[in-house]
Chains A and B, each alone.
Chain A
């Protein structure tokens, strides 16, 4: 019997170990350096993140980039572009491996650029992008591509938020227009509640993206994660007031129940199912609403305390050029082709992402559903993602900020402020 037990214990122990060393597999290698070969032919190696629903799907990154590259190569027979598409979960790790092994790509398109600046791996933006293109970029966006005044990152695509409202439910509750202020929002929510809507305002403050929903509310009262001087100000009087107001909504039963445990995906699906009167969403939520069969909804600027927001939460991804293999001239041709041709618009159309150039915004202005996003985009506000502590703060916000609308707002925000000041 003892032997059996030891066997069982060993098996159990092995299980424990496998489970507790929550490691992730290594990344596959990638091809070697593609240096310029004879005859003036240059191969650019590019690594890009996948905005689509995965390999093999019609909207996969491979398909998208193949279309772009074919067109580019037809116009520039001397330049070959070799694109490797990697999913979002693995791209950081795989790129880190490539760089550590000296297999640096020429072009990288992903969620951040600043990690590569310190090691002098990147071309400056003006070495690889024409002045006409960089001049057309939204100023607020391209400013974030600068480190110590020099631009390294080029904004690639962006996303923004606005208020979605269910027109059928609004009509049923006798509301003519979407709310512009917090007072109107509360009054409308009460009307919706009376009309039998279970979640007048969809409020996802759970793990998935609490940091976004919170930020949109903070903006409504002139607050934010940091103050104008870049100091953490999570428990500023404005933010405490904001969350006290939200807590009032929650306690009156005007929101999603227990917001601190609800993911945005669930709430968006509930909105799509006609259970939610209004919710903050983005272009990326439109396919979810469509899939759920909701058609009659409107999009409006997000209400603030005194009036609608003239800003919104902006999120952007980046494209950058590495200097290891030379090729600046060829990269410049490719970037100019991407931003001035049809490619930038195609990526907006395919993936419901927003453009980062004034020209791109103009091309989309006819779309009524996108208009509130495009209007707010040039004046967007951003997470303090250049602050090295942001990741730690964001993780903590995701877990605990829901408590600010169920417990004491000042205490919960104060604890987050402490995390921000202590994180290292």
Chain B
């Protein structure tokens, strides 16, 4: 009977453990295993391939550029998202008429499918008929529809900012709501005390709001880092990583490789996985997440 009691916790955590093992651990092991196999285009395993998949991957002409671009992509999107969300959360935390409507409206980009959003932006940027180009034409920014000047997605230097814009657009709602939740946990007493001590608005924000918001901020930014790094639909729908590989991130490269060499694609996945862990570790280090609020 006592023995049975000792096993009782297992019954409670068991399902969760099994779930994690099957849904999380097993795919990781399978992914790492695949990256050392030689796999035919139809998915038939042809035996071990040693480290050849990795050698081929690191030998790709565009590999280094793509990895650097992936990091820039993550940093740019997450930084902009967090800055905009901090401001928006502050705004939505104030009382103003129609606040409810405004809060609901912010959910829209979040509720819509990311792929759909990306395709709509691609259409709006269409050089022949896109509404954004019609506006630019009216403003005199371009001479005519249909030319290279109207084709912003056709050129990496103009496509990249648009990709970042769309990624920020779809990330802001979640981040704002996470921060809004954080803001609402800060008690009014603290602000009152600050006021009594004569702290100004900026000083209050810097020394009271931000430090107390740190838990929410850390979680929101961390989830964004991983999400954005693995973001596939926006870039794929809008540019396919083209021209060449000049707007591709490592996730896009992984997908492209899948059609020609599954083993190499698996190697890319493993590198991707490692990158997320490294980025996360750096992020946690920088944000000193486990230090208690001073």
From DSSP, what is the main secondary structure of chain A's interface residues?
helix
Closest to B19 in A: A14
Q: Chain A residues with Cβ under 8 A from B260's Cβ? A: 391-392, 394-396, 423
Given A198-B146, A258-B154, verify A12-B226 contact (CB < 8 Å): yes
Distance in angstroms from A235 CB to nearest chain B CB is 15
B194 at interface by CB-CB < 8 Å: no
> Across the interface, do A198 and B27 meet the contact criterion of CB distance under 8 Å?
no
Closest to A93 in B: B43
Distance in angstroms from A267 CB to nearest chain B CB is 10
A423 to B146, CA, bound (A): 38
A266 to B261, CA, bound (A): 28
Most buried by B among A253, A257, A394, A399: A399
A273 at interface by CB-CB < 8 Å: yes
Which B residues, 216 to 263, have Cβ-Cβ distances below 8 Å to chain A? 218-219, 222-223, 226-227, 229-230, 232, 239-245, 251, 254-261
Given A96-B43, A260-B244, verify A12-B223 contact (CB < 8 Å): yes
A402 to B247, CA, bound (A): 14
Closest to B242 in A: A261
Closest to B239 in A: A261
Q: Chain A residues with Cβ under 8 A from B219's Cβ? A: 4-5, 8
Q: Chain B residues with Cβ under 8 A from A198's Cβ? A: 127-128, 144-147
Q: Chain B residues with Cβ under 8 A from A399's Cβ? A: 240-242, 244-245, 256
A9 at interface by CB-CB < 8 Å: yes
Distance in angstroms from A86 CB to nearest chain B CB is 14
B155 at interface by CB-CB < 8 Å: yes
Given A92-B42, A391-B260, verify A12-B222 contact (CB < 8 Å): yes
Distance in angstroms from A391 CB to nearest chain B CB is 6
B28 at interface by CB-CB < 8 Å: yes
A259 to B261, CA, bound (A): 26
B44 at interface by CB-CB < 8 Å: yes
From A14, A206, A275, A394, B240 is in contact (CB under 8 Å) with A206
> Across the interface, do A257 and B127 meet the contact criterion of CB distance under 8 Å?
yes
Which B residues, 88 to 124, have Cβ-Cβ distances below 8 Å to chain A? none
Given A258-B243, A261-B154, verify A21-B218 contact (CB < 8 Å): no
A11 at interface by CB-CB < 8 Å: yes
> Across the interface, do A395 and B254 meet the contact criterion of CB distance under 8 Å?
no
> Across the interface, do B31 and A21 meet the contact criterion of CB distance under 8 Å?
yes
Closest to B31 in A: A21
> Across the interface, do A15 and B259 meet the contact criterion of CB distance under 8 Å?
no
B289 at interface by CB-CB < 8 Å: yes
The interface bits of chain B over 28-68 (1 if a CB of A lies within 8 angstroms of the residue's CB, else 0) are 10110000000001111000000000000000010000000
> Across the interface, do B258 and A22 meet the contact criterion of CB distance under 8 Å?
yes
Given A12-B226, A395-B259, A402-B244, verify A253-B128 contact (CB < 8 Å): no
Q: Chain B residues with Cβ under 8 A from A11's Cβ? A: 223
From A15, A22, A199, B226 is in contact (CB under 8 Å) with A15
The interface bits of chain A over 113-125 (1 if a CB of B lies within 8 angstroms of the residue's CB, else 0) are 0010000000000
B272 at interface by CB-CB < 8 Å: yes
Q: Which interface class (under 10, 10 to 19, 20 to 34, 35 or more) fits B?
A: 35 or more
Q: Chain A residues with Cβ under 8 A from B290's Cβ? A: 2
B134 at interface by CB-CB < 8 Å: no
Q: Chain A residues with Cβ under 8 A from B43's Cβ? A: 93, 96
Which A residues, 253 to 280, have Cβ-Cβ distances below 8 Å to chain B? 253, 257-258, 260-262, 266, 270, 273, 275
Which B residues, 272 to 294, have Cβ-Cβ distances below 8 Å to chain A? 272-273, 276, 280, 289-290
Q: Chain A residues with Cβ under 8 A from B28's Cβ? A: 17, 21
> Across the interface, do B273 and A16 meet the contact criterion of CB distance under 8 Å?
yes
B161 at interface by CB-CB < 8 Å: no
Distance in angstroms from B112 CB to nearest chain A CB is 19
A15 to B154, CA, bound (A): 31
Q: Chain A residues with Cβ under 8 A from B218's Cβ? A: 5
Given A391-B260, A392-B261, verify A261-B42 contact (CB < 8 Å): no
A395 to B43, CA, bound (A): 17
Q: Chain A residues with Cβ under 8 A from B151's Cβ? A: 257-258, 261
Most buried by B among A8, A115, A258, A260: A258
Q: List 23 A-B contacts (CB under 8 A).
A: A2-B290, A4-B219, A5-B218, A8-B223, A13-B226, A16-B230, A16-B273, A16-B276, A17-B27, A18-B23, A20-B273, A21-B30, A22-B255, A22-B269, A96-B42, A257-B146, A260-B243, A261-B151, A261-B159, A275-B128, A394-B260, A395-B256, A395-B260
Which 7 pairs between the two chains have the least Cβ-Cβ distance? A258-B154, A198-B146, A257-B148, A207-B240, A392-B260, A395-B260, A257-B151
New A-B pairs, 4, CB < 8 Å, besides A93-B42, A253-B148, A258-B243: A5-B222, A13-B24, A21-B269, A96-B42
Residues of B within 8 A of A (CB): 23-24, 27-28, 30-31, 41-44, 61, 126-129, 144-148, 150-151, 153-155, 159, 215, 218-219, 222-223, 226-227, 229-230, 232, 239-245, 251, 254-261, 269, 272-273, 276, 280, 289-290
